[in-house]
């Protein structure tokens, strides 16, 4: 099939503008990223600058791929990363608009690549647990209620891709941060730093320039791992209780 691609180009000779490319012979079995690979091959063949975009595992689990495709983070499908979108979802002759994630805290590096290191700094500020050195404890020696473990696992499914920020009209990172906080707050291993974690991760999140949550829930709708906004409520609860009861300044 034939596709028209309207792609955001920024960096080099592009000041930040949409450039339209026409791509013939797109195979419906190609993944979206393979389609972009084909485009780049043809651009390189024409001695043009290829389109920069991020990708790594291409299995939907690493959180490296991004893109806002026709206004939706990670494309048109529910609970799917861009790398898992296939061209069979598109029709011949269609125009696809491809943009980078947009948020003040995610500056564009080049074309469709944005700097998501703000997420790394949020994790560094509190997304860890204290573990005794020496021999690893037997996993079964710490009893965890099944439901509790499931909720923690659901939160831990967050791959930190940043689609929540991209989809949020406030560019808020609260779904991401709350998933990380919930994941550890629900498990016995996360109790040691529980209060310090929520206070410092939220402080870091605000310092990075993300917006505040106004409960629009676009994040939940666009999250490739379908992380629930229940986690945001849990984070708010954790934060309130930590601020009121701990002596952390």
**Positions that interact with another protein (CB under 8 A):** 6, 8, 16, 18, 68, 70-72, 97, 99, 102-105, 167, 169-172, 209-218, 221-222, 229-230, 232-240
Q: How far is CA 170 from CA 63, 133, 212, 241, in A?
A: 21, 42, 6, 25
The residues that bridge with 18 in the sheet, in sequence order, are 8
Nearer to another protein, 44 or 229 (CB): 229
Q: From the CB of 178, what's the least distance to another protein, in Å?
A: 10
Residue with Cβ nearer another protein (32 or 210): 210
Interatomic CA distance for residues 127 and 130, integer angstroms: 10
- At closest approach, how far in Å is the CB of 214 from another protein? 6
Q: Which is nearer to another protein, 55 or 74 (CB)?
A: 74
* Shortest spacing between CB 41 and another protein, in angstroms: 26
The separation between CA 51 and the C-alpha centre of its own chain, rounded to angstroms, equals 20
Question: Least Å distance between CB 197 and another protein?
Answer: 16
We find the least distance from the C-beta atom of residue 98 to another protein, in angstroms, to be 10
Contact 112, 53 (CB under 8 A): yes
- 164's CB contacts (< 8 A; 6+ apart) are 172, 173, 174, 175, 176, 219, 222, 223, 227
Of the pair 159, 171, the CB lying nearest another protein is at 171
Q: Cβ neighbours of residue 25 under 8 Å, at least 6 residues apart?
A: 1, 2
Q: How far is the CB of 245 from another protein (least distance, A)?
A: 14
- Give whichever of 34 and 230 is closer to another protein, judged by the CB atom: 230
Using the minimum distance from each CB to another protein, give the nearer residue, 137 or 214: 214
- Measure the CA–CA gap between 42 and 25, rounded to whole angstroms: 12
CA–CA distance from 196 to each of 96, 131, 165, 241 (Å)? Answer: 45, 16, 24, 11
Q: How far is the CB of 182 from another protein (least distance, A)?
A: 11
- Specify the residue, 54 or 222, whose C-beta has the smaller distance to another protein: 222
Q: How far apart are the first and last CA of the chain?
A: 60
Contact criterion met (CB below 8 Å) for 226 and 187: no
């Amino acid at each position: 099939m034939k596709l028209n691609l309207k792609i955001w180009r920024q960096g080099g000779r592009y000041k930040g503008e949409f450039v339209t490319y026409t791509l013939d012979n797109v195979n419906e079995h190609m993944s979206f990223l393979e389609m972009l690979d084909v485009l780049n091959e043809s651009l390189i063949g024409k001695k043009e600058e290829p389109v920069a975009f991020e990708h790594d595992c291409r299995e939907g689990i690493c959180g490296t791929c991004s893109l806002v495709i026709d206004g939706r983070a990670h494309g048109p499908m529910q609970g799917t990363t861009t790398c898992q979108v296939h061209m069979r979802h598109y029709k011949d002759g269609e125009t696809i608009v491809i943009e980078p994630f947009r948020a003040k805290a995610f500056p564009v590096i080049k074309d469709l690549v944005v700097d998501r290191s703000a997420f790394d700094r949020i994790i560094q500020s509190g997304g860890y647990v204290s573990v005794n050195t020496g021999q690893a404890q037997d996993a079964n020696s710490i009893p965890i209620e099944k439901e509790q473990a499931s909720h923690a696992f659901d939160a831990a499914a967050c791959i930190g891709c940043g689609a929540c920020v991209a989809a949020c009209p406030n560019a808020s990172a609260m779904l991401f941060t709350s998933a990380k906080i919930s994941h550890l707050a629900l498990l016995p291993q996360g109790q040691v730093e529980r209060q310090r974690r929520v206070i410092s991760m939220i402080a870091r999140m605000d310092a990075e320039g993300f917006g505040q949550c106004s409960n629009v829930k676009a994040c939940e709708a666009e999250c490739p791992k379908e992380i629930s906004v229940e986690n945001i409520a849990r984070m708010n609860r954790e934060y309130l209780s930590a601020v009121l009861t701990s002596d952390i300044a």
